[in-house]
Amino acid sequence: MSRFSAVDVITTKRNGGVLSDEAITWLLDAYDQGDVAEEQMSALLMSIFFNGLSARELGTWTDRMIASGERLDLSGLSRPTVDKHSTGGVGDKISLILAPLVAACGAAVPQLSGRGLGHTGGTLDKLECIPGWRAVLSNEEILQQLETVGAVVCAAGQGLAPIDRKLYALRDVTGTVESIPLISSSIMSKKIAEGTGALVLDVKVGRGAFIKDVDRARELAHTMVGLGHAHGVETVAQLTNMNAPLGQAVGNALEVTESVEVLRGGGPSDVRELTLALARLMTKLVGIDVDPAKKLDDGSAYETYRQMIRAQGGDADAVMPVATIRDIVLAPEKGVVQSVDALAVGIAAWRLGAGRARKEDPVSATAGVMCLVREGEKVEKGQPLFELHADDEVHLESGRVTINGAVRISGEARKSSKLLLDFVSN
């Protein structure tokens, strides 16, 4: 019989105590085996939400999540390995551009990605708009593609940090998603198990992000960077402004189209700016002395993207599907755009059909929002602000109602906000 009990572990953390390594290991193993009830783990997650975890507790918690499953071995690849993880944002299609770009520079990029939930989009949902493209690959296929193409964007295997999948679903329904130790252990356990040698974290902060406050985002970045270093993964973090949507396109097929525009040397300036900033961090971490901008502008990144899509069964030349219904939202007055609310735009895209409330919900490939104005731009009364895309009138009306008020206009001059906010390396 175990000398631990779930109730004792819960009350220790509830009362602000520190859990032993043995208690954490026992608890996570027992939960994984079904010997700790969901309501008991829910109580512990809420206790952690309010009282946190010490650095030692967090390290042990993360170690146990990693040890609960398999680890990919990328050591046999001829290229240095480096990955990027974003904490989630509105219009954040960076992975689609970044993985082939950094691969074109000479690295291997194992982008094991997820699906969208709520107002933030999922990389896999976007790529599944491409006919024939496969999200699920075997470990052998991942390794082969990394060696030959240099980039893979696919679903994380069921064997990587399996405890995290159970905890993630529970956090989502218990109001504990925003806990910094729980976010950190969730992200880093999967990335460390993935086997990459280096990692760049894109920590979003602002209205459209899970973390709204810069100081908390900085704390999250420091925590994750520390976990990476403790596990031998060279890790840095970039704090990125997510008050406004990234780029113009918010929605699955719309974002694929915009990503291809950037890969071909065009596209919105903010998407290009963030892509190149992250690419430069990634190449620097693994000692590659290549300017990513050249690979973006000379077509190398686009060709690597095409190879990556074809390697996973996709038609890289397919025309993206388009929505059957479109509607334009017009400016109610003349003035200067003070803000474009990323959260409101993200929720509108979700209501239009581009997102899901539960993991098992279907998503529309074509639904979404095109943002036609940016902060600091002058607009006339009646000028288009947004183009809404939907598959039916019901979804269109839901999105239309949600997006009202997403743009704030006044007569005052307004400078655009900085996109890159801070950098964390320790």
- CB neighbour burial string for 361-377, b if at least 16 within 10 angstroms, e if fewer: eebbbbbbbbbbbbbee
CB 197 within 8 A of CB 81: yes
Whole-number pLDDT of residue 414 = 85
pLDDT in tens, 385-417: 999 999 999 999 999 999 998 999 999 888 889
Choice among 93, 119, 126, 190 that is catalytic? 190
Choice among 164, 202, 270, 341 that is catalytic? 164
Q: How far apart are CA 214 and CA 307, in angstroms?
A: 38
Choice among 85, 126, 351, 389 that is catalytic? 85
Name the fold adopted by 82-311: Pyrimidine Nucleoside Phosphorylase; Chain A, domain 2 (3.40.1030)
For CATH 3.40.1030.10, the residue range(s) in the chain are: 82-311
| % of the chain surpassing 90 pLDDT | 86
310 carries an active-site annotation: no
Confidence of residue 120 (pLDDT cuts 50, 70, 90): low
For CATH 1.20.970.10, the residue range(s) in the chain are: 6-52
164 carries an active-site annotation: yes
Q: Which one-letter amino acid corresponds to residue 365? A: A
Contacts of 294 (CB under 8 A, 6+ apart): 300
Do the strands 198-205 and 82-86 form a parallel or antiparallel pair, or are they unpaired?
A: parallel
231 carries an active-site annotation: no
pLDDT in tens, 336-377: 999 999 999 999 999 999 987 666 678 899 999 999 999 999
pLDDT in tens, 266-309: 999 999 999 999 999 999 999 999 999 999 999 999 999 999 99
- CATH (residue range 325-410): 3.90.1170.30
Whole-number pLDDT of residue 196 = 95
Mean pLDDT across 131-136:
96
Whole-number pLDDT of residue 392 = 95
Does residue 118 surpass a pLDDT of 80? no
Consecutive H or E run containing 329: strand 325-330
Residue 359 CA to chain centroid, in angstroms?
15
Sign (positive or negative) of CA dihedral 128, 309, 304, 423:
positive
pLDDT in tens, 161-181: 999 988 988 887 888 888 999
Mean pLDDT across 120-132:
89
Confidence of residue 74 (pLDDT cuts 50, 70, 90): very high
- Rounded to the nearest integer, the mean pLDDT of the chain is 94
Mean pLDDT across 111-132:
83
Name the fold adopted by 6-52: 1.20.970
Q: How far apart are CA 303 and CA 316, in angstroms?
A: 10
Choice among 68, 86, 184, 186 that is catalytic? 186
Helices (H), 175-297: 180-194, 214-230, 252-263, 269-285, 292-297
pTM for the complete prediction? 0.94
Q: How far apart are CA 256 and CA 309, in angstroms?
A: 12
